[in-house]
């Protein structure tokens, strides 16, 4: 396997930027390809067969670039698409489930862990199962917060945004009664709303960003596979979206620490 081959990162939309941003910081010399399936977002409202079909077509698109590793920067694709990912990628992929579950298990002091995710991820039970494998005595409280995906896709991510705060208040009111000390942001869109979510939950709750934990795990996976790029130059960047290129470009500029040049974002058709 070619160590200089790109790492391909994908999500249903802009949420995977929470992983991309951390990958850029942790491994600036890697060549990165990002695909946001903005024409078919959200995935989290769909059934398993549709999500798996989407994941297969996302992978078929990314395989054209002969990536050395795939990062599934989407909780829904990770949880529901697992059989497709294992079949198509073998050991060459990192998804969001284990890294987030391990971090939560390490963080919690009282064993009471919350998970917010899309509806499809919640139905899969994947986070709960993984947390209990690692910490059998844990009590896990789940909440679907699907509308956060739309809030983020619309760019309403600032701490004082009224819509984001109203949606967060409604979704988090039950979890606030559960005495959790750790909350997994189990959808990669949600770390973009960290400030809003933290404000609602209060300082006593540690947020686990699926974006950050997945990026860290991907770095460890690449090292274990002996696939880290050894170049000391900055890597190349190329982003693809299946719709709404301007909205994507604007959000990357708000959310990423560096700008993505317009010529590095391309519109593609996914079948
Ligand atoms: N970013 C996604 C996730 O982590 C998908 C959100 C969606 O498309 O519903 O689940």
Token output for 121: 């991820």
Q: Ligand 1 centre and the CA of 29: distance in Å?
A: 27
Q: Ligand 1 centre and the CA of 117: distance in Å?
A: 8
Catalytic residue among 79, 89, 187, 239: 187
Told to judge if 187 belongs to the known catalytic residues of this protein, a careful annotator would answer yes
Which atom of ligand 1 is least distant from the CA of 76?
10
List the pLDDT tens digit at each of the 271 positions of the chain: 799 999 999 999 988 998 999 999 999 999 999 999 999 999 999 999 999 999 999 999 999 999 999 999 999 999 999 999 999 999 999 999 999 999 999 999 999 999 999 999 999 999 999 999 999 999 999 999 999 999 998 889 899 999 999 999 999 999 999 999 999 999 999 999 999 999 999 999 999 998 899 999 999 999 999 999 999 999 999 999 999 898 888 888 777 866 788 889 999 998 7
CA 245 to CA 262: how far, in whole Å?
9
For tokens 């698109």, name the residue.
61
Ligand 1 interacting residues, C-beta cut-off 6 A: 11-13, 15, 41-44, 74-76, 118, 121, 149, 187-189
């Amino acid at each position: 396997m070619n160590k200089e081959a790109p790492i391909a990162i994908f999500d249903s939309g802009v949420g995977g930027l929470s992983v991309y941003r951390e990958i850029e910081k942790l491994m600036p010399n890697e060549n990165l390809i990002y695909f946001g399936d903005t024409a078919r977002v959200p995935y989290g409202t769909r059934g398993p067969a549709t999500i798996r079909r989407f994941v297969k077509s996302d992978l078929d698109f990314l395989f054209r670039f002969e990536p050395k590793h795939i990062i599934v920067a989407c909780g829904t694709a990770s949880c529901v698409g697992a059989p497709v990912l294992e079949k198509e990628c073998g050991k060459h992929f990192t998804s969001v489930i284990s890294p987030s579950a391990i971090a939560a298990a390490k963080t919690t002091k009282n064993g009471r862990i919350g998970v917010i995710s899309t509806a499809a991820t919640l139905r899969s039970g994947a986070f709960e199962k993984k947390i209990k494998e690692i910490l059998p005595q844990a009590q896990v409280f789940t909440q679907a917060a699907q509308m956060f995906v739309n809030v983020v896709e619309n760019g309403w991510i600032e701490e004082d945004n009224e819509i984001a705060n109203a949606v967060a208040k409604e979704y988090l009111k039950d979890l606030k009664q559960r005495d959790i000390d750790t909350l997994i942001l189990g959808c990669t869109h949600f770390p973009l709303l960290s400030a809003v979510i933290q404000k609602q939950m209060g300082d006593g709750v540690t947020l686990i960003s699926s974006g950050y934990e997945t990026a860290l795990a991907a770095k460890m996976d690449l090292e274990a596979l002996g696939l880290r790029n050894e170049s000391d130059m900055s890597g190349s960047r190329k982003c693809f979206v299946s719709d709404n290129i301007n909205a994507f470009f604007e959000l990357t500029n708000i959310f990423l620490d560096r700008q993505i040049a317009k010529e590095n974002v391309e519109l593609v058709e996914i079948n």
